[in-house]
Amino acid sequence: MSTTPAGLRAVPDLPAIAPAELLDQVAAFVSRFSVFPDRHTAPMLALWYAHTHAVQHFYTTPRLILDSAEPGSGKTRVLEVAQYLVRKPEMTISITTAAIFRMLCDGPVTLLFDEIDAVFSPKGGGNNEDLRGLLNSGYKRSATVSRCVGDASRMKVERFPVFAPVALAGIAGAMPATITTRAITVHMRRRAPHERAEAFRERRVENEATPLREQLAAWLDRVGEDHLVGAEPLMPEQVTDRAAEVWEPLLAIADLAGGHWPDTARAAAVHFVGQATETGTSVGTRLLADLRALFTAHEAERMATSDIIGRLCADEEAGWADLDGRPLDARRLARELARYGVRPGPLRIGGHVTKGYHVDGALSDAFARYLPPATEPDPSGAVTTVTPVTSQVRGVTDPDRVTAASVTPPVEPPPDTPPERATVTEAAVTPRSSVTPLARHVTAVTDVTATSGGAR
């Protein structure tokens, strides 16, 4: 009589396969049980799981954060699958910091924390600074935490190694910033009615995941010492400073795997770093970004405080009209900007002296230091001169498509002959913000008479 439970298929050991294909299989496996918010999450998870098997070769180990706006978004499921793919998993909902210290004395384990929002939420009460310090310090290989051990007569200071991979799952908003800046964050979502995921059966998952985990361990144990120690993979230009530290282990493994993985990993790095920049900004950096946009839109070198506040608060989506329950005022504006070395000064505007801000100096310096470079229009498609468009322009079709820009030279009629028609074909005009009457997209413009002034 078979001892294999009904419906549980025995999965034989997989033959040795190419590393790129192995990572493909891991990414496909985790995608069976979860619906991820984007195409970058599954490859990133495959690389993160792989790095736990070679963590001893790296200088850093990025924290993995799975958060969501509401419960039931699949965070726990990701951890449940992860425990069968990572090295030495320890999955927990509640564990003391002292227990973690003792656990790590025997070497790095992979800590999988669920419901971490209950630990760090202010409503949870208690002091969790020890755990926060452990998670922060354990991000780097040489990290230790000193604690006094023993009774009063035999007390001594003992240093505990705390370097270990950590994954954290919880409701968004409770995670300390000191942890999120050392992490790759996935914003999980509830499945839509049309989205489907395979049912999670623990014994089945363990049975199918075990060969994948063993091959990850065997591959990285075989090549890690020679190829991962001291690896400095090339970073995308958007991934710098601490973000580069975070992604270094994953990109090193991707480069080692070869195939499409170097490109796939870098695309994921750019995605998650960009996402963290957008969602993890402070009030101060949001204010700097909106100020830069405001000065740019008005092409102004200086602006009165009253004008700044009025224009910021007029934008309902920006949220400045309701900042912590009250609108942004001159005092809050000055206090936020003072943190970046920016202070208001006297301005003479329209014959009156008032307080305001100059772009030159401290404000432009703050823009350069704390904001990503401003997005500039593509010069290849810029329109340098736009002439008035009158009713003579007819035949505009398919306004939602933009085709190749090609404008024939203007035809000037002889001065003493009746005006000839000039034909403009396949015209596409890239709109500029300064030309609002012009339609956004033009694909076919015909029958422009000479009375329209021609295209210049």
Place of tokens 């904001």: 371
CA 64 to CA 103: how far, in whole Å?
20
Do 87 and 202 sit in the same domain of this protein?
yes
- 366 belongs to a structural domain: yes
CA 126 to CA 119: how far, in whole Å?
9
3-state secondary structure 302-369: EEEHHHHHHHHHHCHHHCCCCECCECCCHHHHHHHHHCCCCCCEEEEECCEEEEEEECCCHHHHHHHH
CA 342 to CA 355: how far, in whole Å?
13
Place of tokens 């030279």: 409
Do 275 and 297 sit in the same domain of this protein?
no
pLDDT at residue 110, as a whole number = 95
Do 328 and 353 sit in the same domain of this protein?
yes
Do 268 and 327 sit in the same domain of this protein?
no
pLDDT at residue 356, as a whole number = 92
- 270 belongs to a structural domain: yes
- 415 belongs to a structural domain: yes
Do 269 and 316 sit in the same domain of this protein?
no
Q: Cα separations (Å) of 17 from 45, 219, 308?
A: 19, 10, 61
Choose one of 237, 258, 279: the last residue of a domain.
279
Do 263 and 324 sit in the same domain of this protein?
no
- 14 belongs to a structural domain: no
Do 255 and 140 sit in the same domain of this protein?
yes
CA 121 to CA 174: how far, in whole Å?
5
- 432 belongs to a structural domain: yes
Question: Domain of 186: which CATH number?
Answer: 3.40.50.300
Instruction: Write down how long the chain is.
Output: 456
- 345 belongs to a structural domain: yes
Do 173 and 300 sit in the same domain of this protein?
no
Do 414 and 440 sit in the same domain of this protein?
yes
- 376 belongs to a structural domain: no
* DSSP track, 36-75: -SSTTHHHHHHHHHHHTTSGGG-SB--EEEEEESSSSSSH
Do 334 and 256 sit in the same domain of this protein?
no
User: For each of the chain's 456 residues, which pLDDT tens digit applies?
Assistant: 434 444 444 444 555 689 999 999 999 999 999 999 999 999 999 999 999 999 999 999 999 999 988 889 999 999 999 999 999 999 988 777 778 878 887 777 999 999 887 877 666 554 577 788 888 888 998 877 777 777 767 777 777 788 999 999 988 777 888 888 899 999 999 988 899 999 999 899 999 999 999 999 999 999 989 999 999 999 999 899 899 999 999 999 999 999 999 999 999 999 999 888 666 567 888 899 899 999 999 998 989 999 999 999 998 778 898 877 788 999 999 999 998 899 999 988 888 889 999 998 889 999 888 887 776 544 444 333 333 433 333 343 444 443 444 444 444 444 454 444 444 444 343 444 444 443 444 344 344 334 444 443
Q: Cα separations (Å) of 307 from 21, 28, 328, 330, 354?
A: 58, 54, 12, 10, 11
Query: What token pair was written down for 70?
Result: 């509401």
- 441 belongs to a structural domain: yes
pLDDT at residue 130, as a whole number = 79
pLDDT at residue 2, as a whole number = 39
Place of tokens 């480069």: 255
Q: Residue 415 belongs to what domain range?
A: 383-456
Choose one of 244, 279, 314: the last residue of a domain.
279
Full-model pTM: 0.67
How many separate domains does the chain show?
Answer: 3
Choose one of 232, 257, 279: the last residue of a domain.
279
Rounded to 5°, angle at Cα 438 from 432 and 442? 95
Do 184 and 244 sit in the same domain of this protein?
yes
Do 81 and 157 sit in the same domain of this protein?
yes
Query: What token pair was written down for 30?
Result: 């985790």
